[in-house]
Structure 1
Amino acid sequence: NAGIEVWLLDLPSDGENVNSLSAKGLERLKDPDMPGLMSVEAEKLIRLGNTRDDFHQLEDCDWVAEAVVERLDIKQALYRQLNDVCKGTTIITSNTSTIPISLLTKGMPKKFCERFAITHFFNPVRFMRLLELVRGEFTREDVINTLDMFSETMLGKGVVSCSDTPGFLANRVGVFAIQCALYKAFKYKLSPTEADAFFGRPLGLPKTGVFGLYDLIGIDLMADVVKSLVSILPENDAFHKYSSPIEFMTAMIANGQTGNKNEKGFYKQAGDERQVIDLSNGNYGTHERLKTPLLEEAEKNGISVILNDKSPYGLYIWDVVSETLCYAASLVPEVTEDLTKIDDAMKLGYNWIKGPFELLDEIGIEYFVKRLKNDGRDVPEFLLKGLNNKFYNNSKSGLSSLSPDGSLKPIIRSNGVLRFSEVRQTLKAKNSNESASWFEYEDAAIVEFHSKANALDSGSLDMISDAISESEKMGLRGVVIHNDFQHFSCGVSLWSVRNCFEKNDFDSLDAFLIYFQNTMLQMRNSKL
C-alpha cells in the first residue's frame, strides 16, 4: 500500500502450487469485507514465494518482518537462516506480542541483535494505526529511528515505543479493561445488551462494547489471549483477578458458540432478527437496543454523568473504569515513564477516543482519588502526583504531560509527525458550532468535525464554507479537513434527512442538498 515492492513468503506446499499458502494470504488481503489492499497497483507489488525455494530473495531486502507461529524454537531457527542469508544492513523484526526480545535473540550474534527489534502491528493492519516498537538491549539507535520514521511517514502508523515488558502497552491495558468489564457484567447480572450499551460509546469506546468485542475477536481466541498474558505477567499483577475462565463461557466454546466466525456467540443473527444470549440460561432472545435517559445524557455530557449515577449501571461503570484507570496508572513508571504512550496505545490500538489519563483529566483527579479512598481502595502513587495538577497541561509553549516525579515534560513528536488532537488544545477556534470547528495553524485552516459519527449536516457545511472564505481573505496556504477520531466521517447525516421526512418538509431537504452541492463547488473552485 505504501508503493514499495515486497516478498510474501510462507511454508512450501505439496502439489503443483508450492506457493499455495502465500497465495491464500494474498487472497485474505483481497477480502471485500475487510480489504487489506488499497488498489490493484498495490497487489502488483507483492511477489509470492516460499521459504524453501525463495529464501535467497531476502538477501537484498532492507527490512524483513517475521510473523510466524508464536513458538520460540521456530522463530530462532528462522533467525539463524536470516542471519546467514541477509545483507549486514537488513533490519529484522518480529511481530510477536508475547515473547520478550531477550528470549528471541538469545544465542544470536551481537551484530544480529543490533539490527533486531519487535514491530507489533495491530490487526487489521490497514485500518488499525498502532505499531508498538520494542527495542532490545543491543538494538542500535539508528535502527529504531529508521523503523519509527518509515512507519510513521510511509506506512501512516502511529508508532508507540515500548519497553520489553509482558504484553507491551496496548494489550496490557486493553485486555485488562475487557476482562474487567466482562467479570463485572456477570457480577452485576447485566445482560450483554446492557453492558455493551454502557461500556461503549458513552465512555468514548467502540460501540461493540465488551460482549460484542468478544464475538468480533472470537471467544475461544480471547480465551487464548488471556492464557498467554497469565503466563507472562508477574504473579502480583492485578490482571490475574479477572483471568480465570468463566464457566458459562467455557460451555459456550464447547458448544461452538465462539462468536462471529461461527455466526453465534453472545449475539447471533436469526434471519432478519438479531438475538442476544441470556446469561442465566443460555437461551437466545430478541436483541433490542437499550434506551435510557442516562445513556442519552451521558452521550451529550460525558462520562461523569454515569459515574455519578447510583443505579447498577452507574456502579458497574465506576467499578470497571476505576479498576482500568488505576491499572494504567500503576504501570507508571515501572513499564513506561511516559503516560502519553499509554494513551496513544489505547487510542491507536483499541480505538478509544480518549486515553486513560485523558479520561482521568475529564473525570477530575481529585474526585477520582477521593472516591477511591472512600471505597477503601489503594491509590496508585502516580495518581497522587496528579492531585495538584492535571496529567495534561497547556501553556504558551505548548502541551506538556506529567512525569513520574511530578514535573511537567513537553510532548515532543518525531520530525514530521503531528497529532492535531494535541495541537488543538493549544489553539482557539476561529469559528465553531455543534457540528464542526475550524482553527488556524501554521498559515492554514484546519476543519474538524465533531458531530455524531462526524456526519455532515448544515453545521458541518457552515464551517467548511466559512473556513474557505476566511482563508481566501486572510491569504492562508489552504484548508485541511481532518480529525483524529475513529471515523473521518460516515457521510451525510441521515438523521437530518430522516427528520425532514418525518416532518414532511421536503423544501428543507432540497435546500440542504443544494447547500451541500454549492459547498462542494466552493471547495472545487477555490484558489486555495
Structure 2
Amino acid sequence: SKFLGKTSVIAKDTPAFIGNRIGIFGIMSLFHQVKELGLTIEEVDKLTGPVIGRPKSATFRTVDVVGLDTLVHVANGLYDNCPNDEAHDLFQLPEFIKKMMENQWLGSKTKQGFYKKEGKDILSLDLDTLEYRPNKKASFATLELTKTIDKPIDRFKVLVKGKDKAGDFYRKNFSAMFAYVSNRIPEISDELYKIDDAMKAGFGWENGPFEIWDAIGVVKAIEIMQNEGYQPAAWVNEMIASGSTSFYTVKNGATYFYDSASKSYVKKPGQESFIILDNIRETQKVWGNSDCTLFHLGDGILNLEFHSKMNTIGGGVLTGINKAIDLAEKEYHGLVIGNQGSNFTVGANIGMIFMMAVEQEYDELNMAIKLFQNTMMRCRYSSIPVVVAPHGMT
C-alpha cells in the first residue's frame, strides 16, 4: 500500500468483512425505510450522494451499476450467517426487491433496474406500483441550507436539524448506522478507525461513520438516536462517562482514536510517513487569506493550501502564491503547493474571467491573465525550490 497508494484494512474473519457488512446494512436499511418515509428513489439518491460526501451514483444508481443480484447475494449471505446480528431482519428482502429479482430487473446489465433508459429519457421505478415513470427532480429545503458549506463533514450538523422529510431521513438513517457500527466493535474490528477506513476506501465515502458521528457531536447524536429508538453500544456510554467526548482527537500533529479495549486514546498507525494538513492547521499557520493558507511543515518548508470554492485559482490564490514565494525566499528553504481536498484545483476561476469579458473590461482581463502567467513563471524561476503536488482534477 506504501507504493500503490492503496488503503489496506485488516479485518476479522466475519461474514462480508467490514465494508460490505456496513455498506449492505446501509443499503438494506434504506430499502426498508424508503416506503416508510414516503420517499422516491430519486429523493433517496439526492440525499445519499455528493451532499453527504458520497459518490454521485448514491444508493439506487449504485445498485443498478453493481447489479441487484450481487447485492441480494451478499444480503442473503448476511441473513444466513449472522443469526445473532441485532439488525438481522433488515437483511431480509422487502417485497419490491423480490419482485424485481423475479422480473430480472437487475440494473444496467439487464437494461433496467431502479432506473431505465428509454431513448434519451431516464425513467424511474415507482416502488409502490412497480411501474416506470418519468424522472422527478428532487429538492429539499434542508439541502438548500448546506449549499454554502463547502466540506461535507461540516454539513452533517445542519442536516440532522432539518425540519423537513430530509431532516427526518438523516436522523433515522444516521441513528441506525451509528448504533450498528458501535455494536460491530469488537465483532468485526477491535479498532473503530478500521471501520471508517474501510467505508472510505471501499465505498468511496468521504467520511466514515465514526467521523460523521464526531462531526454531529457524540453526545448530541446519542440524543437523536434515543429519540429514534436506538441505543449506542455500552462502550460508547463508558467512553462518555469517562470524560472522552469524541472518537478521534489530534495531539502533536497526529490523529488518535478512542480504543474501547484499553479505554484510552491510541495513535492511529501509519501516519509517520506523511503530514496531515488537518492536524497542523491550528498550530503551524504562517499567513492566510480567504482563499488559501500558508503553513510551516517543519524543516524550513512552507506549504500553501488552497481552500477557495473547488480550489479554483482566482485573485486570492495568486496573491497567496506570490506571498508564499516572497516569504520562502526571505526566511525559509522551500515551498510545497499542495492540499488534501478532493481535487488539487479545477482550474482558473472562469466565472470571474467570463464576467470581465461580458463587461468588456479588457484591461482588467489582460491584467488577470498576466498576473496568472507571471505567477506561474515565478514558481518556475524562484530562488527556492517550489514543489507542486497535484492530485484529482488538476
User: What is the alpha-carbon distance in structure 2 between the residues aligned to residue 214 and residue 290 of structure 1?
Assistant: 19
The one of 284, 290, 307 aligned to 2:132: 284
Question: Which amino acid in structure 2 is aligned with residue 394 of structure 1?
Answer: V
Calculate the aligned-residue CA RMSD, in Å.
3.0
Q: Counterpart in 2 of 1:504? A: 358
Q: Counterpart in 1 of 2:3? A: 154
Residue 514 (structure 1) shift: 4.4
Q: Counterpart in 1 of 2:180? A: 327
Q: Counterpart in 1 of 2:230? A: 377
The one of 38, 59, 72 aligned to 1:210: 59
Are 1:391 and 2:260 counterparts? no
Structure 1 contact 166–172 (Cα < 8 Å) conserved:
yes
Deviations along 1:150-184, one digit per CA (max 9) or x if unpaired, are xx222221222222232222222222222222321
Q: Counterpart in 2 of 1:275? A: 123
SS state of the match for residue 186, structure 2?
A: coil
What is the 5 A alignment of 1:112-127? none
The one of 5, 10, 16 aligned to 1:167: 16
User: What is the alpha-carbon distance in structure 2 between the residues aligned to residue 397 and residue 482 of structure 1?
Assistant: 16
Are 1:194 and 2:43 counterparts? yes
User: What is the alpha-carbon distance in structure 2 between the residues aligned to residue 498 and residue 213 of structure 1?
Assistant: 37
Q: Counterpart in 2 of 1:125? A: none
SS state of the match for residue 281, structure 1?
A: coil
Question: Which amino acid in structure 2 is aligned with residue 446 of structure 1?
Answer: N
User: What is the alpha-carbon distance in structure 1 between the residues aligned to residue 162 and residue 118 of structure 2?
Assistant: 35
SS state of the match for residue 158, structure 1?
A: coil
SS state of the match for residue 255, structure 2?
A: strand
Residue 188 (structure 1) shift: 0.9
- In structure 2, the CA distance between the partners of 1:309 and 1:445, relative to structure 1 (3 Å rule), is same
Residue 246 (structure 1) shift: 2.6
User: What is the alpha-carbon distance in structure 1 between the residues aligned to residue 316 and residue 118 of structure 2?
Assistant: 39
Residue 255 (structure 1) shift: 3.5
Structure 1 contact 399–426 (Cα < 8 Å) conserved:
no
SS state of the match for residue 183, structure 1?
A: helix
Structure 1 contact 398–426 (Cα < 8 Å) conserved:
no
- In structure 2, the CA distance between the partners of 1:288 and 1:474, relative to structure 1 (3 Å rule), is farther
Residue 364 (structure 1) shift: 0.8
SS state of the match for residue 16, structure 2?
A: coil
User: What is the alpha-carbon distance in structure 2 between the residues aligned to residue 263 and residue 520 of structure 1?
Assistant: 48
Are 1:297 and 2:145 counterparts? yes
Q: Counterpart in 2 of 1:475? A: 332
Structure 2 contact 293–320 (Cα < 8 Å) conserved:
yes
| Structure 2 unaligned blocks of 5 or more | 386-394
TM-score under structure 2 length normalisation: 0.82
Q: Counterpart in 1 of 2:295? A: 439
- In structure 2, the CA distance between the partners of 1:442 and 1:379, relative to structure 1 (3 Å rule), is same
| Structure 1 unaligned blocks of 5 or more | 1-151
User: What is the alpha-carbon distance in structure 2 between the residues aligned to residue 323 and residue 361 of structure 1?
Assistant: 15
Q: Counterpart in 2 of 1:519? A: 375
Residue 362 (structure 1) shift: 0.9
Q: Counterpart in 2 of 1:400? A: 256
Q: Counterpart in 1 of 2:211? A: 358
Residue 283 (structure 1) shift: 3.5
Structure 2 contact 140–166 (Cα < 8 Å) conserved:
no
Q: Give the length in aligned residue pairs.
A: 372
Q: Counterpart in 2 of 1:312? A: 165
Structure 2 contact 253–279 (Cα < 8 Å) conserved:
no
Question: Which amino acid in structure 2 is aligned with residue 183 of structure 1?
Answer: H
Q: Which has the higher contact order (CA 8 A, sep 6+)?
A: 2
Greater radius of gyration (CA):
1
Residue 239 (structure 1) shift: 4.2
